[in-house]
Amino acid sequence: MRLTEVPTQFLVCLRVATPQIALDSDSVLELTNRWIIVVDLSQKLVITIHHMDCACLANMRNQWSSVMKGSNIAFQEFLFKLFHDAVNTYESSLEAHANLLDLCESKLLFSGCVGLCKASREEEHRQDQLSDRKVLSYFANSSHSPFLTQLLDHKSKKPVDKSVMNMFLYHLHCRTNAQYRTLSITQTVLAESFTKLRLCSKEHANQMCVHCIELINQSLEIRDEAKTLLNLHISLQSFRSNELMAVLTKFSVFFTHVHSLRPCMG
């Protein structure tokens, strides 16, 4: 955040989550959209400059008359809503990544759920459909990805492609790591905006920072779990390869020519 030449004017730069990304996107530029927010406290004026529109700004434009013409809403509360909506854009992204991590884990470690009653299976099916829709809406051209289609097929028993799974988990780890770093910087910007420059009350500042910290912790948790699952998957692949080599070594003696064994056997 930066103070302009006019004491009552402030310039805030935030990065919000992009509503839809490609499957291999993992950079900050691909995952986020920059908002430049100009605030004039004396005129109660807010100007947002952004490259890509999003749902929260569209809703705010549609509700502008009803929100700002209300005598009970202070300008500081409107600013708080603007910053809150900016941070809130990361929720759907982190939720989609958490759902993806669960799907990857279930494909790697579990063969299916047994012993569930009909009501439990129906409830689980509804939850799966809801999480699948969130994942599909977050990734562009998701229906054209064979790997993602197989990952979202809860009835499929076909083993997933190991190399594609490794690359998928790697991108997932990189994405959540980028979001973790971006949210950490966002928390610093918000804390300075709300406390040092007093754009909002201390109560609102604490509330906003707590929400941002929760998202930071969530992104950190998903990032670490993705790395753990990736390392586990690679270890399982190495273990199975070693087992296969051990079996081949044991059985290779049956296919060894007798003349090659004569020096060893005497």
Burial of 29 (C-beta count, 10 Å sphere; 0-12/13-18/19+): exposed
Residue 113 confidence class, pLDDT cut points 50, 70, 90: very low
Task: Tell me the per-residue pLDDT of 36-51, one tens digit each, with 9 for 90 and over.
Answer: 988 888 888 888 888 7
Amino acid at 53: D
CA 110 to chain centre: 23
Among 52-61, 153-162, 182-191, the range of highest mean pLDDT: 182-191
Amino acid at 169: L
Q: How many angstroms separate the CA atoms of 145 and 224, rounded?
A: 25
Q: Find, among 32, 18, 27, 20, the residue nearest to 171 by Cα.
A: 27
The residue written with tokens 């030449």 in the block is 5
pTM of the predicted structure, to 2 decimals: 0.78
Residue 67 confidence class, pLDDT cut points 50, 70, 90: low
**In the chain, where are the structural domains located?**
2-230
Percentage of the chain surpassing pLDDT 90?
24
Residue 261 confidence class, pLDDT cut points 50, 70, 90: very low
- The whole-number pLDDT of residue 125 equals 61
Mean pLDDT of the 48-60 span? 78
Among 50-59, 161-170, 188-197, the range of highest mean pLDDT: 161-170
Residue 219 confidence class, pLDDT cut points 50, 70, 90: very high
Mean pLDDT of the 161-190 span? 91
